[in-house]
Every structure is written in C-alpha cells, then in structure tokens.
Amino acid sequence: MERLLSFTSDISLLQDLDSVLDKILTEARRFPGAEAGSIYLARNGRLRISYVHNQALFGEKPWDIHPYLDKEVDIDPGSLAGYVAVTGKTLVLDDVYELAADSPFHFNQSFDQTTGYRTKSMIVTPLANNQGKIVGVLQVINARDAGGRTVPFSHADVTAVNFFAAHAALAIERALMTRELVLRPIRMVQLRDPRETGLHTERVGAYSAEIYRRWALAAKVPKEEMERTREMIRIAAMLHDVGKAAVPDSILKKPGPLSGEEMAVMRRHTILGALIFAETASDLDRMAGEIALHHHERFDGGGYPGWYRQGEGEEPPTLGPGKKGAEIPISARIVSLADVYDALTEKRSYKEAWPEDRVWQTIVSETGRAFDPSVVQAFIQAEPAIRALRKRYARQ
C-alpha cells in the first residue's frame, strides 16, 4: 500500500512524457515481478507503441527498445490492445499462445518471432481518464515467481496493475499537455524560420537526455537527482532556439550569407531566449534559460554571447568575451554538442547531410575546443542510443 501511494505522489511530479511512461511501466512491473511490459498511446484513431520494457532482452540497454517503438495497430477488437481499447475491459491471460479458437482477439507473435522472446502471461488494461476517454493501453508481461519461472498473474497483481492504470492516464495527459505547451513556442519559430524543423528540437532533446545520463553516471550523480535532471534537460533542450522568434525576418529568412552586422543580430537570439525565462518560476525555467543563453558557447572560450553587456533603453546588448570551461553550465555544454550533431547529420535547405562517421570524427576532433571532454566521452558511450534515436525520429 505504501508503494502504491508513493507512486501516485511520484508520478504527479514528472513532466516529461518518456519519464512518465518509464515510471508507469517500472511500477506496474515491480508489484507483480513482471519481466516486461509496454504502453500504447491513442493517436489519430490508432494505438502507437510508445514505451517498452523487457528485462530479458534489453536489461540495462534502453536504447535497444527504439526499433520496437512507434509501431501502430488499429483500435478494433482484433488485437489484444485494440480489444481493450474498444471494450474498456481488462484482459488477464495465463498463456497468450493458448487462446480459444473462437476468441474475438488474437496475439501478434511477430515480436517474439523477431527477438526469440516467449510471451506467456499478460495483463492488458485500458488507460482511461476521468471522462472515460481511452488515452492508451498498458500491457504487463510474464509474471515471475521466486525461482524466476513464468507464472500466471494473481488476483492481487491484477488489482495493483489496475490501480497503476487508473492514475497513469491522468499523468500521461498532463505530460502530453506539457509537451504541447513546450512545442507551441517552437512551432512559432518554425513558422518564421524555414530552416527549423520540429524533429530537430525533438532530436536535440532526446540526444541531450541520453548524453546527460551517461555523463551523470560517470560523475556519480545520485540516481534521484540524475533522473530528475534528465527529465528537465530533455524538455529544456527543446527550447534552445526559442529566442529566434524575436529576430527580424529580414535576417532570419535571408537566403544568402549574413553580413557582420546581421550576424551580430542573429547571435543575440541567445540573450533574447534567456530573457523569456528571466522570471524563473521553476528549476525547469532556470535550465531552459541557461541553455538558451549558453548553447553557442565553446569550451575553449571562442563562442557567444559570452560575458555580454546589456544595453540601456533600446540599445541592443553588446557581446563580450566567450565563456569557457566550467563557466558554461553543464546543461548547455551537453545541448551544444547535441545541437551540432543534429545539424551536421541532417539535410537542410542550405546543406546536405554529412556521413555519420564524418560527424563523429569531427566531434571527437573538437574535444577540448568546441566541446567539453567529459561530454564528448559521454556522447561516445551513448552512441548506440544516439544512433537508435536518430533512426526513430527520422521515421516520424
């Protein structure tokens, strides 16, 4: 009971969607000792796989889940998840391979066939909000006994999982609302700057979260602090270029190279972005402000806006000597690398995408100059996750 109550308190503090989904699956699996699980979210009349756990296949390698995300099924009673979404009923199955011949739903064996996994016992339950709207479907897979054998889920397991599901839908809706609020100013920039794309901001946020996780593990950051900061940096990193909304169209949309004076105006987007978060209301605001201000600084001091001087009245700010090393917040040092990686690997209207290997070589060669050596090391360690994330967001 203490764990159930703790879950409701902890989940209400999370804002990032992936953090919410991870917490829901972690707790829903922990109570019955389940080996795996997945969450479908309802989107445009379909169910999309949005998060997966599988201790047997992935263990501590969360990047391996990305190839299995974003697959969709129709909301109809033919599949397990579809049946639950249509009927609003919870399914409890002792062995999904032994469904009755006249069952209205079937189990899709493709995941098992691809990975060699054996799905057996399952709880499939709807995620419905207070108005009864289906937000998604939660699947908890393969309960384990003390000896590690797969067993059916007990009545107590079903009760606990349904408790998690009842609170999960509200947390998911809050996280979706937070993501939408974050994306709105980003879309405003995209409408004005043809070079910006929505997936760029999504990727930079996802890359930054993975790089930070590796950096924090090496720095021995306490787990609770690491998870909280990882959640914030993912959201804050998406807002790194929000200051471009205040740059004049004559500069923002200029097709050719910028003059020296125009470049100085463009570089002020870092200061303008920080001003949006000047009235700090939360740790997330503080981090978003420091990332917006510092994400173009270089580790060796050659970046901008540096130690700038704020102008008086309508006078524009004057950029100063670049900040370097620890003068740059670690969040901005991480986002700086993630931003450059995405800019180089993606095709833009003014450039072709660089080959992946060339990008990695370039970033490594800039260790100690453009980038913090500890951040580059974390980036290298996160390579499987980074490559998987790039493929995932390229498909959307």
pLDDT tens digits for range 122-164: 999 999 988 888 999 999 999 999 899 999 999 999 999 998 8
Contact call for residues 396 and 199 (beta carbons, < 8 A): yes
Instruction: Reply yes or no on whether the pLDDT at 255 is more than 90.
Output: no
Q: What is the DSSP string of 170-184?
A: HHHHHHHHHHHHHHH
High-pLDDT (> 90) share of the chain, %: 61
| CATH superfamily name and code, 2-175 | GAF domain (3.30.450.40)
DSSP-based three-state secondary structure for 124: strand
Contact call for residues 355 and 337 (beta carbons, < 8 A): no
Residue span(s) of the chain under CATH 3.30.450.40 come to 2-175
Residue span(s) of the chain under CATH 1.10.3210.10 come to 193-394
Q: 295: number of CA atoms within 13 Å, CB side?
A: 32
Residue 223 burial (CB count, 10 A): 9
pLDDT in tens, 289-337: 999 999 999 999 999 999 999 888 778 899 999 999 999 999 999 999 9
Instruction: Reply yes or no on whether the pLDDT at 70 is more than 60.
Output: yes
**CATH architecture classification, 193-394:** Orthogonal Bundle (1.10)
Q: Give the contacts of 17 (CB within 8 A, at least 6 positions apart).
A: 50, 172, 175, 176, 178, 179
Residues carrying an active site annotation: 244
In angstroms, the CA 375 to CA 8 distance is: 34
| Residue 373, preceding peptide bond in cis (omega within 30° of 0) | no
pLDDT in tens, 29-63: 988 899 999 999 998 889 999 999 998 888 755 55
Give pTM, 2 decimals: 0.82
pLDDT in tens, 334-362: 999 999 999 999 887 667 899 999 999 99
Instruction: Reply yes or no on whether the pLDDT at 194 is more than 80.
Output: no
In angstroms, the CA 86 to CA 106 distance is: 14
In angstroms, the CA 189 to CA 122 distance is: 45
Calculate helix-pair angle for 155-192, 17-30, nearest 10 degrees: 170
The mean of the pLDDT values for the chain is: 89
Q: Give the contacts of 390 (CB within 8 A, at least 6 positions apart).
A: 203, 345
What local confidence, expressed as pLDDT, does residue 4 receive? Answer: 58
What local confidence, expressed as pLDDT, does residue 196 receive? Answer: 63
Instruction: Reply yes or no on whether the pLDDT at 395 is more than 70.
Output: no
